[in-house]
């Protein structure tokens, strides 16, 4: 029987690659993995358990209809991270304000975690892949005190680790701590995340583009020109690219990480600043894409160079294979 390296063993063996060789950061990553196991189990049982499927009956701070599993997942991550003790506070896409943990152990914690507990949750009822996205930052406030808003509003370049969990045909955790990207698949027999995709690299180009084309007439005409280029025979491949838009950012990003491609969510007339959240979605995926050899931009600036001004700040988002992003940016000049 094949022997696999668990996430715990991998982190222990690669401790020196973590920022400041930090044991606490390993603890945070393992806590996130444990919370994602809870969510994975709940997602798999959603059709069998009353109270898991469907809308919660309200809206989140984003003005989006909140799904029941959004709330369940949010609570699971908050609970596990607070009990872990290495995290002093969190910010979640589902909550209007950040949460500062008030127990003494957590207030001595080194890190804050920002996350989208269940990206693509509108796909739950139709059994399409969904995911969790997270960023980890070192706190800048004084230890043994409450976390502050400044701890949360840091540039993406200050991330010490970031990752996502994909709940699909298998559950997979992908993360970076600034020394490449590695992927771990949850083994249902042992309930352990095992190394399955070592040193992941995004192909420099691909044949997939992902965009909600229902909004295309609301976009900058230069975006329309780029999509027409993707659909023509005059592109880099000499045949049309394949359109692949799942409506679950984690799933679309993961496909492009494996096979190459570009994901596009530009500004529109209805969302002039962009649609996706800088802190909970764009920064962590930008960190991963760059570590894997890809690129991420708003169309005018590097995602991770943006200084956030508010927790739920939105931006345009282009991410994917380096050559494809550069080609798209050429259309936007």
Average pLDDT by stretches of 10, the chain with 333 residues: 87 84 89 97 74 54 71 96 97 96 95 96 86 97 96 98 96 97 97 98 97 95 96 90 96 98 96 97 98 98 98 98 97 94
User: Which neighbouring-strand residues pair with 296?
Assistant: 319
User: Would you state the structure tokens that stand for residue 244, as one six-digit string?
Assistant: 């692949």
> Which pLDDT score, from 0 to 100, does residue 122 have?
80
Distance in angstroms (rounded) separating the CA atoms of residues 300 and 323? 16
> Which pLDDT score, from 0 to 100, does residue 267 have?
96
What dihedral do alpha carbons 164, 32, 196, 10 form, nearest 10°? 130
Q: Are 317 and 156 in contact (CB under 8 A)?
A: no
> Which pLDDT score, from 0 to 100, does residue 130 have?
95
- What's the CATH class of domain 208-332? alpha beta
**What CATH code is assigned to 7-197?**
3.30.540.10
Q: Which residue from 216, 267, 222, 241 is spatially nearest to 321, judged by alpha carbons?
A: 241
Tell the burial category of 272 from Cβ atoms under 10 Å away from its Cβ (0-12, 13-18, 19+).
Answer: exposed
> Which pLDDT score, from 0 to 100, does residue 3 have?
83
User: Would you state the structure tokens that stand for residue 34, as one six-digit string?
Assistant: 């444990």
Q: Is the dihedral of CA 28, 175, 131, 262 positive or negative?
A: positive
Q: Which residue from 120, 113, 122 is spatially nearest to 95, judged by alpha carbons?
A: 113
Q: What share of the chain is helix, strand, coil (3-state, %, to 5)?
A: 40, 25, 35
> Which pLDDT score, from 0 to 100, does residue 59 have?
55
User: Would you state the structure tokens that stand for residue 75, as one six-digit string?
Assistant: 């609570």
Q: Would you kindly state where each structural domain of the chain is located, as residue ranges?
A: 7-197, 208-332
> Which pLDDT score, from 0 to 100, does residue 53 have?
52
Q: How many Cβ atoms are within 10 Å of 142's Cβ, its own excluded?
A: 9
Can 7-197 and 208-332 be said to share one CATH topology? no
From first CA to last CA, the distance across the chain in angstroms is 54
> Which pLDDT score, from 0 to 100, does residue 55 have?
57
User: Would you state the structure tokens that stand for residue 191, as one six-digit string?
Assistant: 């309930």
């Amino acid at each position: 029987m094949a022997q696999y390296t668990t996430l715990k063993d991998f982190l222990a063996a690669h401790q020196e690659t973590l920022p400041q060789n930090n044991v606490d950061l390993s603890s945070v990553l393992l806590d996130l993995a444990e919370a994602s196991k809870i969510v994975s189990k709940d997602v798999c049982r959603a059709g069998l358990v009353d109270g898991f499927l469907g809308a919660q009956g309200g809206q989140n701070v984003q003005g989006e209809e909140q799904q029941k599993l959004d709330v369940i997942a949010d609570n699971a991550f908050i609970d596990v991270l607070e009990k872990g003790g290495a995290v002093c506070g969190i910010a979640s896409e589902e909550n209007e304000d950040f949460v500062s943990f008030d127990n003494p152990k957590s207030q001595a914690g080194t890190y804050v975690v920002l996350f989208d507990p269940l990206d693509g949750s509108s796909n739950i009822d139709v059994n399409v892949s969904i995911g969790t996205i997270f960023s980890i930052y070192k706190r800048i406030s004084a230890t043994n005190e409450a976390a502050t808003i400044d701890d949360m509003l840091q540039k993406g370049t200050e991330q010490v680790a970031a990752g996502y969990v994909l709940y699909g045909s298998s559950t997979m955790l992908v993360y970076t701590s600034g020394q490449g990207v590695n992927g771990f698949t949850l083994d249902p027999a042992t309930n352990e995340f095992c190394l399955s995709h070592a040193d992941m690299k995004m192909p420099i180009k691909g044949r997939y583009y992902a965009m909600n084309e229902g909004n295309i007439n609301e976009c900058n005409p230069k975006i329309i020109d780029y999509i027409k280029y993707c659909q023509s025979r005059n592109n880099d491949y000499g045949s049309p690219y394949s359109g692949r838009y799942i409506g679950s950012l984690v799933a679309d990003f993961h496909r492009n990480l494996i096979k190459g491609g570009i994901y596009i969510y530009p500004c529109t007339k209805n969302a002039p600043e962009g649609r996706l959240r800088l802190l909970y979605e764009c920064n962590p995926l930008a960190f991963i894409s760059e570590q894997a050899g890809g690129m991420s931009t708003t169309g005018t600036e590097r995602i991770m160079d943006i200084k956030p001004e508010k927790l739920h700040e939105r931006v345009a988002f282009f991410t994917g294979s380096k050559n494809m992003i550069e080609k798209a940016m050429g259309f936007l000049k």
